[in-house]
Amino acid sequence: MSKPTDKPVYIEPNYTYGDATLHYIQQAAEHGLYEIRGLGAKRRVPTFDDLTFLTASASRYPLEGYREKCETKTVLGTRFAKKPIELGIPITIAGMSFGALTAQAKDALGRAAGELGTSTTTGDGGMTPEERRSSKTLVYQCLPSRYGFNPDDLRQADAIELVVGQGAKPGGGGMLLGQKISPRVAGMRTLPEGIDQRSACRHPDWTGSDDLAIKLSELRELTDWQLPVYVKIGATRVKNDVKLAVAAGADVVVVDGMQGGTAATQQVFIEHAGIPTLAALRQAVEALEEIDKVGEVQLIISGGIRSGADVAKALAMGADAVSIGQAAMMALGCNARHYHMNGRLVDATDDYAAIGTAPGYCHHCHTGLCPVGIATQTPELEKRLDVDWGARRVKNYLQTLTMELTTLARACGKSNVHNLEREDLAALTIEAAAMAKIPLAGTDWIPGHNGY
């Protein structure tokens, strides 16, 4: 055995085989399987944080921050739908399934959205009566799995979202592991209870964009051309896909960047497929510009939208609205240290520890062991989400985002948040400048443009 030495110790860090990589290799060696988890990409990618606003000064004048009106109304589906939807704010709640989330969580999201005059979206498990009741404006997803899909729910929807893909797993189908397939979830999905369910990655009744056009027509025929039809794509070849969605007849295109969340997907898929939301948004806007559809087809961007600043920057870059999923869950209490029960806060740290994680790091949506009772189907855990409390928190969160959004818009001199424009932005990093095609702050340089 060697003796301790007085020489200074230097433990050389290994950037190729760091802690995370070692853990990954050891897990793979132990289980012979890839990791499945919830939420979205955690790796560092350029984001809206890498942009800043060039607010008003002498060359442009601002609006008074508290008193002058700043319009947030947002209309979606003006292209073909007889009944476009009118939202109070340009922030919508993304599709999250009953099954992935509890019925109570869906209820809370619906109530909060209703109070702010915005929409919620069903998910890969059909429409529950609870969410139809609680959500004033409900977008009904048509997904590859078609679980629970039926014409009666379709007719009572306010808009239809045909989901081609999602940012967490573009090109992949959903998963719901056995412990979340409760009798009610199984019934809604026509599956045996307790099986590990893997949704289809392609639609059962059409393939390719020419077929998609006929499929969208079918949905319109079924609903007498009343409802807006969205097409949602996961961000990969965004320019082509947006153009194809528009050619197929979409009223609204939803682009979900790689930071978009999921209830359960392979980690390798979450982290290594798709392009960042920032890049996806610019490509989507360029696609609409190239085919002269800006304003006629509305664009919703999603995938890692967290703050009013993110919303404002997305709108300035050309989105008509944003959609939030993970952040809405976090407002409900996802990854919080406490949950709220019987009028008091209860510490859930031990429950996080029991599943090998901690508040702030949890991505166990796939296990159904959600310590705060949001992404579960276990009755005992479901009780941990107080619906009134959750609804109030989501409402507060949406309200905060809206206040932040209008603060920035007014400071840019805009009386309508939809008047924010690219010229209001500068990039803080070269990567963000290249992806968003916004000049690097203090320069007029966009990498790849003007010959350099």
Partner 1 sequence: METITDTDKTVRVDLDESSVRDLNQFLHHDLAASGVKHIEVLNPNGRHNIAVGVDAPVSVDIRGHAGYFIGGMNKQARITVHGNVGWSVGENIMSGSIRVKGNASECAGASGHGGLVVIEGDASSRCGISMKGCDIVVGGSVGHMSAFMAQLGTLVVCGDADAGLGDSLYEAVIYVRGTIKGLGADAREEPMGEEDYARVAALLDKAGFDHDPKAFKRVASARTLYHWNADHHQEY
Beta strand 229-234 with 344-347: parallel, antiparallel or unpaired?
Answer: unpaired
CA distance 283 to 238: 6
Selected from 9, 11, 29, 33, the binder of partner 1 by CB under 8 A is 33
Residues in the chain: 452
CA distance 377 to 365: 10
Amino acid at 69: K
Selected from 22, 195, 346, 353, the binder of partner 1 by CB under 8 A is 195
CA distance 315 to 299: 10
Q: How far is the CB of 82 from partner 1 (least distance, A)?
A: 12
Residue in the structure block whose two tokens are 């939301």? 277
Contact assessment for residue 314 and residue 268, using Cβ atoms and an 8 Å cutoff: no
CA distance 352 to 346: 13
75 DSSP β-pair partners: 86
**Closer CB to partner 1, residue 39 or residue 285?**
39
Residue 365 sits at the vertex; the CA angle it makes with 105 and 146, to the nearest 5 degrees, is 75
Selected from 134, 262, 367, 376, the binder of partner 1 by CB under 8 A is 367
CA distance 424 to 436: 13
Selected from 366, 393, 410, 418, the binder of partner 1 by CB under 8 A is 366
393 binds partner 1 (CB under 8 A): no
Number of residues that bind partner 1 (CB under 8 A): 37
Contact assessment for residue 131 and residue 139, using Cβ atoms and an 8 Å cutoff: no
Selected from 65, 129, 187, 192, the binder of partner 1 by CB under 8 A is 192
The contact pattern for partner 1, residues 159-188, with x = CB under 8 A and - = no contact, is ----------------x-xxx---------
Selected from 8, 13, 32, 451, the binder of partner 1 by CB under 8 A is 32
Q: How far is the CB of 131 from partner 1 (least distance, A)?
A: 20
215 binds partner 1 (CB under 8 A): yes
**What is the CB-side half-sphere exposure of residue 185 using CA atoms within 13 A?**
29
Q: Which helix (H) or strand (E) holds 198?
A: strand 197-198
206 binds partner 1 (CB under 8 A): yes
Selected from 191, 341, 428, 441, the binder of partner 1 by CB under 8 A is 191
**Closer CB to partner 1, residue 88 or residue 144?**
144
Q: How far is the CB of 144 from partner 1 (least distance, A)?
A: 8
Region 12-31 residues binding partner 1, contact defined as CB under 8 A: 31
Residues that bind partner 1 (CB under 8 A): 31-33, 36, 145-146, 149-151, 154, 175, 177-179, 189-192, 195-196, 198, 200, 204-206, 211, 214-215, 217-218, 221-225, 366-367
